[in-house]
C-alpha cells in the first residue's frame, strides 16, 4: 500500500468512476455520506448493493461483475473478511484502485490488488482524503499535513 500525498492526489485526480461496494441508501450511514460528497464533487458513483435498486440517483448493482461499463476505483464498505473476494472482483473488472475505507485493512486484499497492478489504499476515507488534499478541511483549521501557497486546481 502506498498512501503518500502524491499517490493519493494521483488516484483521486485519475479515478473518476467509483464503484462503492456496500453503499447504503440510508442518509445517516458513512457510506452514503462519503459517496454523496464525492458525487457532489464530480465523481460518478456506482452503487454495489443487492438490497437497493437505486442509490443517489444511480442504478445499484448486485456485484461488481454486473456493472456494464468501466470502473476506475472500487471503494469498499464491507467486513474485512469479505474484502479479498472483492479485491479479486476488482481485478477481474479491470479497476485501477482498490480503496478500503477507514477502519478496514485486509493485507490479503492488498496483496491481490497490488500483485495485479492496482493501486491499493487501506484505512483511509476517500471523502476525507479528497477534502484534505483538494482544499476543504484546512478552512476549518484542520491540519492537513499539506503545505502549499496554492490550492490544487486539477479537480
Q: pLDDT 10s per residue in the chain (155 long)?
A: 566 899 999 999 999 999 999 999 999 999 999 999 999 999 999 999 999 999 999 999 999 999 999 999 999 999 999 999 999 999 999 999 999 999 999 999 999 999 999 999 999 999 999 988 887 655 545 555 555 555 555 55
At the top level of CATH, which class does the domain 5-140 belong to?
alpha beta
Helix (H) or strand (E) holding 19: strand 17-21
What is the DSSP secondary-structure string of 81-127?
GGHHHHHHHHHHTT-SEEEEPTT---HHHHHHHHHTT-EEE-S--HH
Domain extent listing, the chain: 5-140
Verdict on whether the full-model pTM lies above 0.85? yes
Alpha carbon distance 111, 37 (integer Å)? 29
Amino acid at each position: 500500500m502506498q498512501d503518500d500525498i502524491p499517490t493519493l492526489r494521483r488516484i483521486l485526480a485519475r479515478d473518476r468512476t467509483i464503484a462503492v461496494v456496500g453503499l447504503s441508501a440510508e442518509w445517516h450511514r458513512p457510506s452514503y455520506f462519503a459517496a454523496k460528497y464525492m458525487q457532489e464533487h464530480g465523481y460518478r458513483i456506482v452503487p454495489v448493493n443487492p438490497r437497493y435498486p437505486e442509490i443517489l440517483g444511480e442504478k445499484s448493482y448486485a456485484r461488481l461483475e454486473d456493472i456494464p461499463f468501466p470502473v476506475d476505483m472500487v471503494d469498499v464498505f464491507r467486513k474485512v473478511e469479505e474484502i479479498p473476494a472483492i479485491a479479486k472482483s476488482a481485478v477481474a473488472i479491470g479497476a485501477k484502485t482498490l480503496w478500503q475505507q477507514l477502519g478496514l485493512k485486509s493485507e490479503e486484499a492488498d496483496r491481490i490488488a497490488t500483485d495485479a497492478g492496482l493501486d491499493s489504499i487501506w484505512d483511509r476515507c476517500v471523502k476525507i482524503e479528497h477534502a484534505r488534499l483538494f482544499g476543504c478541511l484546512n478552512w476549518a483549521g484542520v491540519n492537513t499535513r499539506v503545505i502549499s501557497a496554492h490550492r490544487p486546481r486539477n479537480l
